[in-house]
Structure 1
């Protein structure tokens, strides 16, 4: 069911957005050569505790997950492109890391993701991150009353296609509110002018994710981590966005 939020409720969602943005920013800054993924998860766990927030991930067990997730972050490295389960891995020079984080503050959820290069970057990785960021911005620009969901999806896909990238449609954005995942689904490609008509009060997570040379994925033996079918690297960007009378309001905007 698609739920719309009042202006007062959207104001109530701002603390969750600010908190999630602060965690994402802190982790992006701390991600460096020699840092263990489990250390990053522990940092986020401590920030949750200090803020009196609640993790959306620890007990999360959807149909596509092998078991409850058990961690508070998704940390996807190189060919791990989504839902990376933190494990005993030390970041190496040149790794492409995507961090996805969602938390609840005072009963309201926000969800965000960022990709960074650890240490010495590869030009193709920087380009992939840049394209993914532009696709996110393009989708956000259409998050306005009167537009259609297909307009957001088409804007994202158009950026990917112009850069020569394929688009996987198995996973995308989603509604956000009292829970992390709700209706509507926000695909990363689509037809303009089609789909649900966007209304003031809708809050969605918009999250493009692309891989260098494929749009196919498979599930790692850990039952969670999704990897590219050909070993190519992936980038993932996400913001929680409220549709208001004044246009898109990015609740997880980072300083």
Structure 2
């Protein structure tokens, strides 16, 4: 399937979907604390998306080939869970880290973003992993410009993460996004500079590195969705939806509460 280049009108729709997605994460921030269940967080998100934003939570009943329908409106991946964790009735504990992944459909357009949250007081190691994964995402984002290659993004992320002693999950990647949840291209978070597809204005895709404190190997749990680290080491992920502009990039999943870019990314 070819990579779609979005028109100005398409991009306006994607900006709205991206902002709404980020605003869901803003809303959730004060609720992520010890004793709260991820089921409760899921209900808060579902109600906000459906009743306040008049939008659709994309994960609910999402069923790519070979998968059973996803049963919740968000993904919540805790500690050694890498991605696609299903919300449940287990209360969050002090020191947990949790990735919350939100995708909102508004007027047919998808916004997709995730953030890491540290529950209560996290360990030094846990905070370091979360912070450096955020920086790794941005190491990839700042490579986005017309004429650059997808391999440039992956190489920047991989080099940074591995220099810090972390490993990159390779089985999952970023993806094109628009009218569909997952479009071309695939955006690997590892690779060689100067390789893979050339970036063009109007391309929109996610950058969402999954970084493990231990080894990169993963496995799938029996629920058919949740991915965990094989060695049970902590894993972190951050995600933004990014547009290739005529001169560089624009992050579309932004709102008042979005964490500010690192200093190396500029304003």
Q: Smaller-chain TM-score range?
A: over 0.9
Over residues 83-123 of structure 1, what are the superposed CA-to-partner deviations in whole Å (9 max), with x where a residue is unaligned?
A: 00111110011001110111111111010011111011100
> Aligned pairs, how many?
254
In structure 1, the partner of 2:240 is 239
Unaligned stretches of 5+ in structure 1?
none
Unaligned stretches of 5+ in structure 2?
257-267
SS in 1 for 2:35: coil
1:146-157 equivalent positions in 2, closer than 5 A? 146-157=147-158
Over residues 3-59 of structure 1, what are the superposed CA-to-partner deviations in whole Å (9 max), with x where a residue is unaligned?
A: 010123212211101100001122233100011110000000011112111121112
Q: Which whole-Å CA distance do the structure 2 matches of 1:63 and 1:159 have between them?
A: 34
Q: Which whole-Å CA distance do the structure 1 matches of 2:185 and 2:91 have between them?
A: 37
Where in structure 1 do 4 or more consecutive aligned residues deviate above 4 Å?
A: none
1:60 maps to which of 59, 62, 82: 62
Please report how far the alpha carbon of residue 246 of structure 1 lies from its aligned counterpart in structure 2 after TM superposition. 3.1
Please report how far the alpha carbon of residue 64 of structure 1 lies from its aligned counterpart in structure 2 after TM superposition. 5.4
SS in 2 for 1:19: helix
In structure 1, the partner of 2:83 is 82
Q: Which whole-Å CA distance do the structure 1 matches of 2:46 and 2:138 have between them?
A: 29
Q: 1:64 to 1:142 in 2, by over 3 A?
A: farther
SS in 2 for 1:132: helix
In structure 2, the partner of 1:19 is 20
Q: Which whole-Å CA distance do the structure 2 matches of 1:79 and 1:28 have between them?
A: 21
Please report how far the alpha carbon of residue 254 of structure 1 lies from its aligned counterpart in structure 2 after TM superposition. 3.8
SS in 2 for 1:183: strand
Q: 1:64 to 1:30 in 2, by over 3 A?
A: farther
In structure 2, the partner of 1:248 is 249
Q: CA RMSD in A?
A: 1.1
Over residues 57-94 of structure 1, what are the superposed CA-to-partner deviations in whole Å (9 max), with x where a residue is unaligned?
A: 112112453x1001110001111110001111100110
Q: Which whole-Å CA distance do the structure 2 matches of 1:7 and 1:154 have between them?
A: 30
